[in-house]
Structure 1
């Protein structure tokens, strides 16, 4: 998961509190920032490639079957990394973990269902409005208000009435956006209340249990082909294991606002991957709308002092 699970901000983890003098082993802030950018880009590329490959299994497994496999892979990886001890959790720790599990599953299911209906590029662009909203809501600058208007214009353009407009697909993309925003905030809450990544790992385990009946029904009623399972497993690794482990390193060191702003690269990556892997071509209007949303975030990043 997006592991905003560190209980303390990144500067506290990356500096020596006992001395202000230069230290031979002290990390280079510039190097850390560059590493964070590279990690976030790699995470986004892996995530979108996994989503594209997973969609190849839709004809056999459907979006819900692919998501179920994703949840299983995420649970295996994060349970191994986090090694949670659920019996030690208090009530105050359990409720955000359970909410995170519910949001996690809903986010992936709504996104993959949207991809099935409106394509990878448009679905991811709509989902991206979640972290973008958090990023802009955390700011009081006029330039960010302008960025919000630009992004809103892009969304209106994407959702303009047309004979071919799939409003259900659009609605699923927006639901994924709400879930992603909730996901970021809940991860930070879990990170403050549960040590290490135990909370995120426990949430992944609970979410996998929620999708266990789906896997059983699929195997019994509609036995999957080896190829479809392989596609789903690759999607699980690229869209779950790789991004979540990468984000464990990233969200510990950058605030939610910065992370949300940098995620502007995801709609572009999704459009490119959708074109290369799935042959999904976007029209000029859709491309312009995506460009407007990305430009709004790029402007906010370029003018940000954080």
Structure 2
């Protein structure tokens, strides 16, 4: 009876992760539909508000009990959180969803490979680097600013992971993440007001921005919590690598952002590098 339960839990976890990835990318795609009215800054502001509301409800941080040693990584995490989302959405506006998410994914991939000392990980790093070279190769239509924003999002995601570990060690539960989301939302509050005054949001644009916050922040966060209870962390990391592929497919279906053969090859190289590294990991 127990042996039948474990696979069922794992399949449930995999299904939850797949749904989480689709939700994340569909949310980003819907958010991009609001760019003509709100711009990436306005969409990110709304997303930060939604993320703060969800994390505050889940984490319930006791802010008055935080010490200075706890506050400084929370403050850095808030800065990185906002910068990561702003750079990603700005990259999506310029180079499309699939390529932006692929570049952003290099952050956690580089972090994982940097801590490894195996020959297979070196080969994976070379494969991922080859994918980046393909994406960044000079062409008349190359948007280097968009590519740079995608790489900035990657650096922020890697920093986000490291800071989350520090916050998690110093503050119990999700209190630290909730406090960081609150600080980030407060920082974006005047930005959101300014955007609303200069470019009054239409109901459709506002609905798309809120949907981005729910689908790309609230749903993935809660889904990942449920998935990690059912599947090993290694499997979780492996399925995280599917996000660039999901982003490319969602961008093609919902936004009409088709990738060429070279771009698909680059996305495949980055995904394969992570998949091989995760599948051959023994610890």
What TM-score, normalized to structure 1?
0.87
Q: 1:100 maps to what in 2?
A: 77
Which structure has more helix as a fraction of its residues?
2
Question: Are 1:265 and 2:242 an aligned pair?
Answer: yes
Please say if residues 108 and 161 of structure 2, whose CA atoms lie closer than 8 Å, have aligned partners that are also in contact.
yes
Corresponding residue to 2:165 among 188, 192, 205: 188
Q: 1:150 maps to what in 2?
A: 127
Q: 2:49 maps to what in 1?
A: 72
Question: Are 1:115 and 2:110 an aligned pair?
Answer: no
Question: Are 1:242 and 2:219 an aligned pair?
Answer: yes
Q: Deviation string for 1:236-276 (max 9, x for gaps)?
A: 10001101122333457888776544321011000000000
Please say if residues 34 and 206 of structure 2, whose CA atoms lie closer than 8 Å, have aligned partners that are also in contact.
yes
Question: Are 1:89 and 2:66 an aligned pair?
Answer: yes
Secondary structure, aligned partner of 1:123: helix
Question: Are 1:160 and 2:137 an aligned pair?
Answer: yes
Secondary structure, aligned partner of 2:258: coil
Q: CA deviation at 1:40?
A: 2.5
Q: Which sits farther off after the overlay, 196-205 or 252-261? A: 252-261
Corresponding residue to 1:279 among 256, 261, 268: 256
For structure 1, the 5+ residue unaligned runs are 1-23
Corresponding residue to 2:180 among 203, 217, 237: 203
Question: Are 1:174 and 2:151 an aligned pair?
Answer: yes
RMSD: 2.2
Q: CA deviation at 1:110?
A: 0.1
- In 1, the alpha carbon distance for the partners of 2:233 and 2:181 equals 20
Q: 1:223 maps to what in 2?
A: 200
User: Structure 1 138/249 Cα, relative in aligned 2: closer, same or farther at 3 Å?
Assistant: farther
Please say if residues 131 and 261 of structure 1, whose CA atoms lie closer than 8 Å, have aligned partners that are also in contact.
no
Please say if residues 135 and 258 of structure 1, whose CA atoms lie closer than 8 Å, have aligned partners that are also in contact.
no
Please say if residues 47 and 210 of structure 2, whose CA atoms lie closer than 8 Å, have aligned partners that are also in contact.
yes
Question: Are 1:55 and 2:32 an aligned pair?
Answer: yes
Please say if residues 131 and 184 of structure 1, whose CA atoms lie closer than 8 Å, have aligned partners that are also in contact.
yes
User: Structure 1 85/193 Cα, relative in aligned 2: closer, same or farther at 3 Å?
Assistant: same
Please say if residues 12 and 230 of structure 2, whose CA atoms lie closer than 8 Å, have aligned partners that are also in contact.
no
User: Structure 1 253/194 Cα, relative in aligned 2: closer, same or farther at 3 Å?
Assistant: farther
Q: Which sits farther off after the overlay, 230-239 or 186-195? A: 186-195
User: Structure 1 279/185 Cα, relative in aligned 2: closer, same or farther at 3 Å?
Assistant: same
Q: Deviation string for 1:62-115 (max 9, x for gaps)?
A: 000000000000011111111111100011111111111110000000000000
Please say if residues 58 and 66 of structure 1, whose CA atoms lie closer than 8 Å, have aligned partners that are also in contact.
yes
Report how many residues are paired. 283
